[in-house]
């Protein structure tokens, strides 16, 4: 059971977390799936691209996400080029314009607990010094993001009763349907949450969230409370 978590915020101009069923016009998830968060953490820590996911299997890493800014989506046309059609980049003539969906002005809070003390301490040290081994991005390499270390906090498990939950809410954690409150906008998305040794998605999860980043009142198992000023209540993806 985790006893403490690293907390940091990430934000950028745009984000794109591709939905697996979208093809010619890529759509994006509203917030990073657990698999994307593993990639972000792997980039910050400088883990090998071919095997970083092994360090963040569910039995080793607990990862949570909170939406800090309202989810706004835009579509932008991008020119894709065929790099196999010419030896030199300036000779490439073939271009295909594809309309990509992006999250505009995304901002998220990430929570991490890890059973490997070496990886945990490395990430804590890098984040607290505002350093990363590789450039962090929000889904695509060109969507560079910034980050800020919020701190390290002790956490304790909370009782399974109706409470306001600050993070996104995996459907598998719900004991009863959530209490829908007036003035809030609720959505759910099915997203990848675990990859296997062959980098194939082995598990999907339906996740509930409030579009403007407001809390969700629900009764959930495996609910955790941070020992910080906000006393944030979170669920891990």
3-state secondary structure of 90: helix
For residues 51-65, average pLDDT: 89
CA dihedral of 112, 46, 55, 195, whole degrees rounded to 10: 100
pTM value > 0.85: yes
Give how far Cα 28 sits from Cα of 23, 43, 146, 183, Å: 11, 21, 20, 25
**Residue 77: its H or E element:** strand 72-81
- CA-CA distance, 75 to 149, in Å (whole number)? 31
Question: Which range among 18-22, 85-89, 147-151, 182-186 shows the weakest confidence by mean pLDDT?
Answer: 85-89
Residue located via tokens 């609720």: 186
Give how far Cα 137 sits from Cα of 11, 15, 53, 97, 182, Å: 9, 8, 16, 23, 35
- Which two tokens mark 88? 């030199």
For residues 91-108, average pLDDT: 87
For residues 106-135, average pLDDT: 95
Q: Over the stretch 128-168, which tens digit does the pLDDT of each residue have?
A: 999 999 999 999 999 999 999 999 999 998 877 899 999 99
47 CB-near residues (< 8 Å, 6+ apart): 55
Residue located via tokens 């980049």: 89
> What residue segments make up the domains of the chain, in order of their start?
4-9+34-70+108-234
- 33 close to 193: Cβ distance less than 8 angstroms: yes
3-state secondary structure of 34: helix
pLDDT category, 96, cuts 50, 70, 90?
A: confident
- CA-CA distance, 150 to 128, in Å (whole number)? 8
3-state secondary structure of 97: strand
For residues 192-215, average pLDDT: 88
């Amino acid at each position: 059971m985790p006893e403490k978590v690293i907390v940091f915020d990430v934000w950028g101009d745009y984000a794109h977390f591709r939905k697996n069923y979208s093809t010619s016009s890529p759509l994006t998830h509203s917030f990073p799936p657990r698999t994307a968060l593993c990639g972000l953490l792997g980039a910050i820590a400088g883990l090998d691209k071919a095997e970083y996911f092994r360090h963040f299997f569910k039995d080793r890493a607990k990862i949570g996400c909170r939406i800090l800014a309202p989810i706004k989506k835009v579509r932008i046309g991008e020119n894709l080029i065929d790099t196999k059609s010419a030896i030199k980049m300036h000779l490439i003539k073939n271009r295909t314009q594809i309309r990509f969906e992006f999250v505009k002005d995304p901002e998220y809070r990430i929570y991490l607990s890890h059973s490997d003390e070496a990886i945990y301490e490395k990430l804590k040290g890098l984040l607290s010094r505002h350093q990363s081994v590789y450039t962090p991005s929000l889904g695509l390499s060109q969507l560079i993001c910034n980050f800020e270390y919020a701190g390290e906090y002790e956490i304790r498990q909370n009782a399974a009763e109706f409470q306001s939950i600050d993070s996104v809410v995996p459907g598998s954690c719900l004991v009863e349907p959530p209490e829908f409150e007036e003035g809030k906008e609720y959505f759910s998305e099915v997203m990848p949450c675990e990859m296997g040794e062959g980098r194939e998605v082995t598990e999907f999860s339906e996740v509930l969230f409030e579009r403007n980043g407001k809390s969700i009142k629900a009764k959930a198992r495996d609910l955790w409370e941070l020992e910080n000023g906000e006393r944030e209540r979170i669920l891990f993806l």
